[in-house]
Structure 1
Amino acid sequence: MNRKKQLKVRHKYLEQLIAFKDTEPVKVITGIRRCGKSSLMLLMQEYLIRQGIPEEQIIAINFESLTFQEMTYKDLYNYVKNKVTTENTYYLFFDELQKIDQWELAINSFRVDFNCDIYITGSNSYLLSSEYSTYLSGRYVEIKMYPLSFSEFIDFHGYQVTEYKTPMGHVKKRAVNEQQDIVELSDLFDAYMRYGGMPGIADVGLEQDKAFILLDGVYSTVVVRDILERERNRKGRQVTDAELLRKIILFLADNIGNTTSFNSISNTLVSEQMIVNREKQGKPANQTIAAYIGALKETYLFYDVKRFDIKGKEYLRTLGKYYIVDMGLRNYLLGIRDRDRGHALENVVYLELLRRGYDVAIGKVDTLEVDFIATTATEKLYIQVTETMKDEIVRQRELKPLQKIPNNYKKIVLSMDLALDDEYDGIHVVSIVDWLLS
């Protein structure tokens, strides 16, 4: 097991794995490249050893290693079979398993033939597409992993949040590192918005050149290895034009938080002469766009959010939105800028809602829009995100959709710049930074 460096613990994800330890379901950790899946597997292995599990009962394979790149599913089965020498429980860890063709046959055989507890990771949701998950007969649990939350970002960069009392008697928060250097949370949040939450940023430091080199590696791996190479190896190839793929990525990154359709993307690309309008050839451009965006969603680079008619109580088929998995990747792609900070803040809030286990939709109430409807089995939230609540016009604009919702679920406005009032007719106004750390 690789223990060259002390791994930072991401408690939420590790606790999820521990909760399912020694249960039948295969534990499947999914998420974009470099978001921490391999480290989580190592943390789980370290936990098992602390619990007294002998190392011989832990079998771990990273399929990124050249040692295993020529392995077939039958080779994998035999490799594990030769290491299972007792009736004890064996813990099997397979990193980037999607590289093994017909991997699901080996996994099912392990479940049938051995006393084992199985953990796998994948950087592509194709791993759990219906044709594959059928082989597991629903006997798996998915642990969805994301880049660092703001709270984790603070921890990974060596700071702790502390409270202090102002001369006016208010309790405020700030960050302190081991050297007792004090940093304002707003400054750390600015760094988070610029560099994003890829764990590797903590290793290279908050320097733009180094951070962007790391992010270039993430982007290239996702696009070249997880999309273009996989498309070359699968039947019915659709995503083959690297330049077109990049243009679609840039369009989506530039339009986070904007209502978008395949048609609007296609029209923009056609107008820029980046794609030929193929309708005359009987091959609509929209189908091409849909295939490319599907590949981007499969690799967790982008997420789409549907619209929900709050009064009509139904999902709408048109004009959803897209958000990118990490703001650092967006800044790497488009360059540092501040002109659409409102949508960038929306993006951060959206990812945090996913981390907290909410299902998220965009709300429509009459002709107005609610940024997010966030629901779990026991809770529903209506959320607006805005840069400021001090401007009267902006304040009325953000409050109006929430005021029109005809129910008593909790309504929140998240803002960077608060006015004196923290409540308007039952609508709570909360600092985005405080909410992220709550």
Structure 2
Amino acid sequence: MNNQIKTKIAPNLLTSTLKEQYESFETRNLGVPREVLEELKTAINAPPVLVITGLRRVGKSTLLAQIANRYLKDNYYFVNFEDERLLNFQVSDFDLLHETLISLFGEKKAFLFDEIQNVPGWERFVRRLHDQGYKFIVTGSNASLLSQELGTRLTGRSIRVELFPFSFQEYLNFKNIKTPNLNVLTTKQRGNLRKLANEYLSYGGIPDALKYPELEVHKTLYDDILYRDIATRYKLDNVRGLKELSFYLLSNTANLVSFNKLKDLLKLGSVNTVINYIDYLENSWLFFMVNKYTYSIKKQQIAAKKIYSIDTGLTQSVGFSFSENKGKLMENAVFLQLRRKHSDVYYYKTTQDYEVDFYLPKEGSLIQVAQHFDTAETRDREVRALVKAANEQQKASHFIVVTESEKNEFEQGKIKIQTVPLYEWLLKT
């Protein structure tokens, strides 16, 4: 019978935890201002719950501190539910939490809840106080759990924002490097930007990994996601299968993958197991699966997917490659920049089976990524695919090849194609 009694958090422990958390939050290093910060102004001043979701250690807590510093002054509470002292916190403890916050800091109108998915049923409390006029800004590292919870209790009452690792511009800001005028670059500036773009591909944009390069931040993060966020949360028996699948995907970023082939290659039993595992990996922000563009949803579902990693630095540190794979890393970086701006990103296959790396139907953009564009074979392959795709998609009006260093513009048939260095494309997009 005693096993059925739910543990309540001790009031004294709650008081000391909240006080320490707030003091630590108040003195937190604000780091590099995130590009999304300016865009959040309207959402912060609007009634809906603001939900910030993204990979572990991607900077969500720091973004909360930047929001508080810029927009909320001193009119907020902060609670981090990743704190092990709140491990037994339950939805029934929220009234005690609110009471304790008032006793410590007085009445405030905004709640900042970090890693809220650790408290099952949290949306009930948020819904109740939101209806009373309180503002909530919450973060979470599991996209699926947040979507389910928001969909049940907070339909129409929330705005979702995705936070990615540093963009190339944020990476330069982190290194205190001023971006030159991209329209008037000297040879030296072009060389430096090219070098910095190559470093960005190698190191990625996860803040802690850049701050502490001597530590195995990528490996620790990767293991935390696999074991804590996925294996433990979903009570998986075949942890080895999950690990092998994830490692395979990480080592094959920017490649096409088939669920059936993955099932056979890794001996995972069934296609459903593969689909479920990949869903868990996607929801934890490790990977993105990109669909082939087609008008038929069914055809999209059965066609091979292209796999991309959340961070090229993570790919380099944890994945495996027989040779330098800069072209694949470039393609992954281009995908991440596109995904920051657009939710609908596809790859395109022509009827003659020529492939274009990215298609954005709403913008009418067809984009290829080619590290080297100075050989006839590469130029013919990339341009041929763009021309064939343009003939099939009449609404397409922007045709781009992202290269390591070439900048040019030329016509092929009826279309105008731009070649743009990766550093310029990342900074201008």
CA distance in 1, matches of 2:223, 2:298: 41
2:399 corresponds to which of 411, 414, 424: 411
CA positional deviation for 1:338? 4.2
Shift in CA distance, 21/326, structure 1 to aligned 2, threshold 3 Å = same
CA distance in 1, matches of 2:149, 2:137: 20
CA distance in 1, matches of 2:300, 2:259: 18
The question of whether the paired residues in 2 share the 8 Å contact of 1:384 and 1:412 is answered with yes
The aligned residue for residue 160 of structure 2 is: 142
1:334 corresponds to which of 306, 319, 322: 319
The aligned residue for residue 217 of structure 2 is: 214
CA distance in 2, matches of 1:155, 1:96: 26
CA positional deviation for 1:81? 4.6
Query: Which piece of structure 1 moves more, 68-77 or 296-305?
Result: 68-77
The aligned residue for residue 103 of structure 1 is: 122
CA positional deviation for 1:26? 0.7
The question of whether the paired residues in 2 share the 8 Å contact of 1:84 and 1:90 is answered with no
CA distance in 1, matches of 2:231, 2:298: 39
CA distance in 1, matches of 2:331, 2:220: 26
Q: Does 1:432 align with 2:422?
A: yes
More helix by share: 2
The question of whether the paired residues in 2 share the 8 Å contact of 1:358 and 1:374 is answered with no
The aligned residue for residue 368 of structure 1 is: 354
Q: Does 1:20 align with 2:43?
A: yes
1:240 corresponds to which of 214, 237, 242: 237
Per-residue deviation, residues 331-373 of structure 1 (Å, max 9, x unmatched): 1212576443222211110000011235200112212111101
CA distance in 1, matches of 2:296, 2:80: 49
The aligned residue for residue 7 of structure 2 is: none
1:256 corresponds to which of 253, 256, 260: 253
The question of whether the paired residues in 1 share the 8 Å contact of 2:35 and 2:170 is answered with no
The aligned residue for residue 209 of structure 2 is: 201
Task: Report matched runs for 1:149-228 at 5 Å.
Answer: 149-163=167-181, 171-172=185-186, 184-205=192-213, 210=214, 213-228=216-231
Q: Does 1:230 align with 2:215?
A: no
Q: Does 1:48 align with 2:56?
A: no
The question of whether the paired residues in 1 share the 8 Å contact of 2:77 and 2:108 is answered with no
1:400 corresponds to which of 381, 384, 401: 384
Shift in CA distance, 435/75, structure 1 to aligned 2, threshold 3 Å = same
Shift in CA distance, 365/8, structure 1 to aligned 2, threshold 3 Å = same
Shift in CA distance, 294/151, structure 1 to aligned 2, threshold 3 Å = same
Per-residue deviation, residues 120-144 of structure 1 (Å, max 9, x unmatched): 0000012333365221023111110
CA positional deviation for 1:387? 0.8
CA positional deviation for 1:218? 1.1
State the TM-score, normalized to the length of structure 2: 0.85
The question of whether the paired residues in 2 share the 8 Å contact of 1:325 and 1:351 is answered with yes
Q: Does 1:355 align with 2:373?
A: no
Per-residue deviation, residues 100-124 of structure 1 (Å, max 9, x unmatched): 0111111111112x32111000000
The aligned residue for residue 346 of structure 1 is: 331
CA positional deviation for 1:381? 1.0
Query: Which piece of structure 1 moves more, 95-104 or 126-135?
Result: 126-135
Aligned residues: 396
Equivalent position amino acid for 1:306 in 2: N
CA positional deviation for 1:242? 2.0
Identity %: 27
The aligned residue for residue 17 of structure 2 is: none
The question of whether the paired residues in 2 share the 8 Å contact of 1:163 and 1:174 is answered with no
CA distance in 1, matches of 2:50, 2:203: 30
Shift in CA distance, 71/173, structure 1 to aligned 2, threshold 3 Å = farther
CA distance in 2, matches of 1:315, 1:343: 23
The aligned residue for residue 370 of structure 2 is: 386
Aligned-residue Cα RMSD (Å) equals 2.7
The question of whether the paired residues in 1 share the 8 Å contact of 2:49 and 2:137 is answered with yes
The question of whether the paired residues in 2 share the 8 Å contact of 1:162 and 1:174 is answered with no
CA positional deviation for 1:174? 6.2
More strand by share: 1
CA distance in 2, matches of 1:75, 1:185: 52
CA positional deviation for 1:183? 8.0
CA positional deviation for 1:190? 1.8
Q: Does 1:298 align with 2:306?
A: no
CA distance in 1, matches of 2:163, 2:376: 39
CA positional deviation for 1:310? 7.9
Match of 2:45, SS?
coil
CA positional deviation for 1:250? 1.2
CA positional deviation for 1:162? 2.5
Equivalent position amino acid for 1:243 in 2: R
CA positional deviation for 1:191? 1.6
The question of whether the paired residues in 2 share the 8 Å contact of 1:59 and 1:80 is answered with no
Query: Which piece of structure 1 moves more, 23-32 or 5-14?
Result: 5-14
CA distance in 1, matches of 2:273, 2:111: 39
The question of whether the paired residues in 1 share the 8 Å contact of 2:288 and 2:307 is answered with yes
